[in-house]
Structure 1
Amino acid sequence: MSEEAGRAFWNFSLEHYGKPGLPPAVIGLQNRLGADVNLLLYGCWAAAQGRSLGETDIAQADATIQLWREQVVEPLREVRNRLKPGVAPVSAEASMTLRKRVLDAEIAGEELAQHALAALLPAAKAAGNPAAAARRHVEIYLARLAKPLGPEDQAAVETLIRGCFG
């Protein structure tokens, strides 16, 4: 898959992440279930591209970005979150510039993860409705996390699908 596909996935994510309710929905799935927002969006983007992802494809996608997520993105997120209230002797206000730089690095890390995921997009075409295919992709991914989905999680999935497919 080309660099163009990576940019297309990133642009899809930026376009849809700004939809009302979508950021808190996917961040909620991240916080409650340990979901990777990039993998949630990958399932939607693949469906929007008319592609079908099976359990093996999703497992491969997760494995592909696992080390990057664990060793780069998550540590940057942890530092950013630690800076929010300030870290003595530096106040939250004084650390705001650094927090913004860490956020920029975290976002750059997310973009690189998405480029790696875009390279995995299978050639197999999805049958039927893209929104239904995206829901199936997301459900397969969330099942991998082996945590029960509560009503709030199910509502978050619906918000994600609605945000990406109307």
Structure 2
Amino acid sequence: MGLWDWTLEAYARPGAPEACLALQDDHGQNTPLLLWAVWAETDDAGRLARAADLARRWDGVAVTPLRAVRRALKPTFEGVADEAREGLREDVKAAELRAERVLLETLEALGGAPGGTPALAALRAASRAWGAPAPDDALAALAAALG
């Protein structure tokens, strides 16, 4: 199964969205990178460093700016009709999701056979590669949700 389809299935599992958002918002992690590491079953430091570098650059150019705009459009904006603002917010949300999909497809193209690494070990390694590691309990929550 391709990474995008796997990610959609994984994100639909109970607890996965909450665990992903906590890792992203509370611990500064890159959710697509974490999910890719689990999918690729890898804890290879070199492979993760390359993936994290790519994710960091794409995140800075596309994902983070789109997320900031989407969040800025959430509250009412005096002088702009709510329906128009919400419509634009939905467009930006779709662009943000597309940017994440592009990142996942790019990470998938890095290739390499699955490494057989268990989910929690892959998450720990990917979190370290991203930067300051997330707390183990937050990573364990995602690992548990992913099964």
Superposition TM-score, scaled by structure 1 size: 0.79
Q: Which amino acid aligns with 2:122?
A: H
User: d(CA) in 1 for partners of 2:143 and 2:121?
Assistant: 10
SS of 1:90's equivalent? coil
Q: Which amino acid aligns with 1:55?
A: A
Q: Deviations over 1:95-123 (max 9, x none)?
A: 11111111011111111100100011323
SS of 1:120's equivalent? coil
In the TM superposition, what is the alpha-carbon distance from 1:142 to its structure 2 partner? 1.7
Structure 1 residue runs of 4 or more that deviate by more than 4 Å after TM superposition: none
- In the alignment, structure 1 residue 97 sits paired with structure 2 residue 79: no
User: d(CA) in 1 for partners of 2:57 and 2:115?
Assistant: 29
The percentage of aligned residue pairs carrying the same residue is 31
Q: Which residue of 1 aligns with 2:34?
A: 40
- In the alignment, structure 1 residue 156 sits paired with structure 2 residue 141: no
User: d(CA) in 2 for partners of 1:124 and 1:37?
Assistant: 19
User: d(CA) in 2 for partners of 1:125 and 1:158?
Assistant: 19
User: d(CA) in 2 for partners of 1:157 and 1:84?
Assistant: 28
Q: Which residue of 2 aligns with 1:141?
A: 126
Q: Which amino acid aligns with 1:22?
A: A
User: Of the candidates 22, 26, 42, which is equivalent to residue 20 of structure 2?
Assistant: 26
User: d(CA) in 2 for partners of 1:134 and 1:82?
Assistant: 34
Unaligned runs of 5+ in 2: none
SS of 1:57's equivalent? helix
User: Of the candidates 99, 105, 120, which is equivalent to residue 115 of structure 1?
Assistant: 105
Q: Is the 8 A contact 2:33 2:126 kept in 1?
A: yes
Equivalenced residue count is: 146
Unaligned runs of 5+ in 1: none
Superposition TM-score, scaled by structure 2 size: 0.88
